[in-house]
């Protein structure tokens, strides 16, 4: 099992970062505009992109502490993997430790998703710091796989 790891710091409070991870409006502001569903614990959030999308079950949501999703529908390689955001305060930053864990194999799609997650976490940082993120379909394009 292999994981994707990232660390980003947002000049903002943990509350604001937590809101961007746990509300439909927040998520639509940095990952994909086409987001809906139920973002409470036990709910399923539906994220859609031009080529497809992901359904995430919210497993944990601890205010300003951590958020954990499990992928319940989407590309085969993603199903059953988990996405974890841990928040902590350091200097005047809210640090996000991100982990997309439980990939069966380091397939080429995992290389792609690792870079895409980095650009989306930078979009989350920008959203919380400036009010404007870069969610799909206005996301940063990194290759022929978008």
User: Under the rule (CB under 8 A), what is the footprint of its own copies?
Assistant: 2-9, 90-93, 95, 97-99, 106, 108, 110-112, 114-115, 118-119, 121-122, 125, 140, 142-145
- Give the nearest distance from C-beta 128 to its own copies in angstroms: 13
Query: Which is closer to its own copies, CB of 76 or CB of 91?
Result: 91
Peptide bond before residue 129 is cis, with ω within 30 degrees of 0:
no
- Give the nearest distance from C-beta 97 to its own copies in angstroms: 6
Query: Which is closer to its own copies, CB of 56 or CB of 113?
Result: 113
85-108: b (≥16 Cβ within 10 Å) or e = bebeeeeebbbbebbbeebeeeee
- CA distances to 56, 109, 118, 120, 132 from 12, rounded to whole Å, are 26, 32, 19, 17, 14
- Give the nearest distance from C-beta 99 to its own copies in angstroms: 8
Query: Which is closer to its own copies, CB of 8 or CB of 71?
Result: 8
């Amino acid at each position: 099992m292999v994981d994707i790891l990232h660390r980003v710091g947002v000049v903002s409070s943990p509350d604001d970062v937590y809101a961007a991870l746990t509300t439909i409006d927040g998520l639509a502001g940095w990952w994909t505009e086409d987001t809906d569903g139920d973002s409470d614990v036990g709910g399923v959030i539906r994220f859609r992109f031009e080529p497809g999308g992901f359904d995430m079950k919210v497993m944990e949501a601890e205010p300003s502490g951590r958020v954990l999703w499990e992928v319940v529908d989407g590309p085969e390689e993603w199903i059953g993997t988990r996405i974890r955001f841990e928040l902590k305060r350091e200097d005047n930053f809210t640090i996000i430790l991100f982990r997309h864990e439980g990939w069966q194999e380091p397939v080429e799609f995992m290389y792609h998703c690792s870079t895409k997650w980095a650009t989306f976490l930078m979009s989350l940082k920008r959203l919380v710091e400036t009010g404007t993120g870069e969610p799909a379909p206005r996301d940063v394009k990194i290759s022929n796989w978008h």
